[in-house]
Amino acid sequence: MAQEHPSVTNFRNYVRIKTVQPNPDYASCTTYLQGQAEELGAEFQVIECIPGKPIVLMTIPGKDPSLQSILLNSHTDVVPVFPEHWKYEPFSAHKDENGDIYGRGTQDMKCVGIQYLEALKRLRKAGATFLRTIHLSFVPEEEVGGHDGMGEFVKTPIFKNLNIGFGLDEGYANPTEKFTVFYGERTPWWIFVRCPGQPGHGSQFLPNNSGMKLQKVINSFMAYREEQKKILSENKNLRLGDVTTVNLTMLEGGVQFNVVPSELSVGFDVRITPTANLTEFEEMIKRWCKEAGDDVTYEFRQKAMCQTTTCVEDGKSPWWDAFSAACKKENIQLIKEIFPAGTDSYYLRDLNIPALGFSPMNKTPILLHDHNEYLNEDIFLRGIEIYMTIIPAVANLKF
């Protein structure tokens, strides 16, 4: 049996650290990353904007510190698992005979964090230096919205002093020979609608009751959902990130079967494409509620407003040109998309920092948050080589 590549061993060790929500082992993860920083020869610090939720920052100073720096971001937490649906223990990092490494976080996104590190280790060992300072951030809480991780970090003087000019963060796999790069993401709105009404006995035809209003609200949201679904299905040039999704995710109310409640409520997860007008979208929600009843109200449990995208037009952005040229050098064919969900790139773009979401995983099924998440060791190792070209390209950019 061939000896395992040390980079693969390192990756598997990282996957075995149980940084699983809702109780991530951030302490063990931080200790592990400190060892990686020492091996890399990078400056190391831990920032806790929220106690118990550490942000690990590694820094490789550039030859010209006055230039804007590069941020290589990854998150340390992973989503929960249902072990009974897995082939192998989800935190065993089991490698099968095909070289497929199974484990929560293999795709989302411990692979990328290690690929950054291993690429830089090889580059440094070969004597490479960089014009710009490179920062590697390993942030917590991304899988629960990032508010207590990158969301708090970007508000600090420490972050401001990093002088970030360009960031790389996660994308996801592509099952084909091609690679996907994300230049923006949809805006998440979590909307909670309250429908009060006439209460009474369940045997009556009560007018103006909460159930009638709730039905009207749900019908309006779901009709819009079907419209967007149709737009996507009828235009093969569109991807999921190019339309707005609506999903009913919460229902609340009722006391017992024979009592018509005084209020019923419904929650929706809405992801709005960057080309949509947010003001007009909210006006549409107001209209739906008014049509259901004058006393029907809505509130936001989350209301993001950033619709900033990163320029990915050739000749229009030096960052994109450097990244794109590096990918061409590696014979990578890129597919440019809007990320359909959310990443920590949101917080960078909200500060007008150009950021791309890119996980170098082609010929790989998309399994983030799924059972039996895995990544093949050869695909993982190829990703390191790709970053060995991309990182110097952006870190040595002169302008």
Residue 69 inside a domain? The answer is yes
Question: Are residues 215 and 191 part of one domain?
Answer: yes
| Residue after which a domain boundary falls, among 260, 287, 303 | 303
What is d(CA 34, CA 29) in angstroms, rounded to the nearest whole number? 9
Question: Are residues 176 and 45 part of one domain?
Answer: yes
Cβ–Cβ under 8 Å, residues 117 and 124:
no
Cβ–Cβ under 8 Å, residues 8 and 377:
yes
Residue 1 inside a domain? The answer is no
CATH of the domain at 178: 3.40.630.10
Number of domains in the chain: 2
Question: Are residues 14 and 159 part of one domain?
Answer: yes
What is d(CA 290, CA 297) in angstroms, rounded to the nearest whole number? 8
Question: Are residues 42 and 91 part of one domain?
Answer: yes
Residue 192 inside a domain? The answer is yes
Residue 35 inside a domain? The answer is yes
Question: Are residues 321 and 265 part of one domain?
Answer: no
Q: What separation, in Å, do the N-terminal and C-terminal C-alpha atoms of the chain show? A: 49
H/E stretch holding 272 reads strand 263-272
Question: Are residues 200 and 159 part of one domain?
Answer: no
CATH of the domain at 293: 3.30.70.360
What is the DSSP pairing of strand 179-185 with strand 334-339? parallel
Residue 340 inside a domain? The answer is yes
Question: Are residues 118 and 13 part of one domain?
Answer: yes
* 142 counts as catalytic: yes
Question: Are residues 142 and 69 part of one domain?
Answer: yes
| CA geometry: angle 243, 248, 250, nearest 5 deg | 145
The residue segments making up the domain with residue 87 are: 6-185+309-395
Question: Are residues 140 and 21 part of one domain?
Answer: yes
| Residue after which a domain boundary falls, among 303, 321, 345 | 303
Question: Are residues 252 and 159 part of one domain?
Answer: no
Question: Are residues 260 and 320 part of one domain?
Answer: no
Cβ–Cβ under 8 Å, residues 67 and 132:
yes
Consecutive 10-residue averages of pLDDT for the chain (399 residues): 90 98 98 98 98 98 98 98 97 98 98 98 97 98 96 98 98 97 97 97 96 98 98 97 98 97 98 98 98 97 96 98 98 97 96 98 96 98 98 96
- What pLDDT shows up at residue 1? 54
Question: Are residues 122 and 48 part of one domain?
Answer: yes
Instruction: List C-alpha distances in Å: 334 to 156, 157, 176.
Output: 34, 35, 11
Instruction: List C-alpha distances in Å: 100 to 36, 172, 268.
Output: 24, 17, 37
**Bridge partners, 269 (sequence order):** 190, 247
Q: What are the phi and psi torsion angles at 31 (to 5°)? A: -60, -45
Query: Where do we find the tokens 């019923």?
Result: 264
Residue 79 inside a domain? The answer is yes
pTM over 0.85: yes
Residue 73 inside a domain? The answer is yes
Residue 386 token pair: 């790709």
Cβ–Cβ under 8 Å, residues 63 and 129:
yes
DSSP 147: T
Among the options 77, 141, 242, 344, which is catalytic? 77
| Residue after which a domain boundary falls, among 255, 286, 303 | 303
Among the options 118, 141, 142, 344, which is catalytic? 142
- What pLDDT shows up at residue 58? 98
Residue 328 inside a domain? The answer is yes
What is d(CA 391, CA 122) in angstroms, rounded to the nearest whole number? 12
